[in-house]
Amino acid sequence: MPALATVPVLPTEPDAAVAVPNAAAPGKHARGWPCVACGANNAFESTACVTCGAGFLGGLGTAAGSGLRLPLVGDLSRLGRSARLCLATAVGLFGSLALSGLLILVGKVF
């Protein structure tokens, strides 16, 4: 009579001690991304909030007070795309001219 090999029986139910703690508590520690509009926690698979429908990071650039403010220009988020391009070009030209002037001045001193 051939000897039967004993096959180890694997548990089919997940062990409670090994379970992921985030799956048991869907509160503030649940995995996902928080909605910037309503604060609801959404799964990583969804691209829009299940509560309010806002997109991932939606409205972050248009929120009041979140824009960069410059002394002479004001809030940069109010400017259009072309105005921001002109401002960036002007700042770049001014910076390069100021650096060139500083280097010429340092060159005359030493």
Chain contacts with Zn ion (rule: CB under 5 A): 35, 37-38, 40, 49, 51-52, 54
| 43 or 91: CB nearest Zn ion | 43
Minimum CB separation of residue 101 from Zn ion in Å reads: 51
Q: How far is the CB of 59 from Zn ion (least distance, A)?
A: 10
Instruction: Pick between residue 27 and residue 71 the one whose CB is nearest to Zn ion.
Output: 27
CA pair distance 86, 98, nearest whole angstrom: 18
Write out the H or E segment, with its range, that includes residue 104: helix 81-109
* Nearest distance from C-beta of residue 67 to Zn ion, angstroms: 21
Angle value at C-alpha 89, between 83 and 92, nearest 5 degrees: 140
CB 76, CB 91: distance < 8 Å = no
